[in-house]
Amino acid sequence: MTSVWESLTVDSRDPARLARWWAEALGYQVVTEKPDEVEIRPSADRLPGLVFVPATEGKQGKNRLHLDLRPANQEAEVERLVDMGARHVDIGQRDVEWTVLSDPEGNEFCVLRAREE
């Protein structure tokens, strides 16, 4: 028996706002919007999704799980995400080939360089 990855759940102070931010960042669409849950996916029939649910407290400490994004142009994508409200963060990464950013609620994610073919 195996499982299918359905979604990743993100606690959020403002689920609708953060879901829309990530939908724009990833080119996803909102597929479900309820007061207690907003889900985004690449399309309505494609998994996995990201589900944003309410949280009463803000994020504390470094994420133990984060997304890695791999755009065709790292520099341009970092600039686009920062223009959308992402922030550069230092989690002790030192000199690495990826850029660490955080979303508007402080959740870290990495923007990797394009794959070499």
Which pLDDT belongs to residue 38? Answer: 98
pLDDT at 57: 83
The pLDDT value given to residue 64: 85
Question: Which ranges of 1-117 would DSSP assign to H, the alpha helix?
Answer: 15-26, 74-84
Read off the pTM: 0.91
Torsion of Cα atoms, 66 then 14 then 88 then 25, to 10°: 70
> Taking the chain (117 residues) in consecutive chunks of 10 residues, what is each chunk's mean pLDDT?
94 96 98 96 96 88 89 97 96 88 96 88
Rounded CA gap, 29 and 117, in Å?
Answer: 30
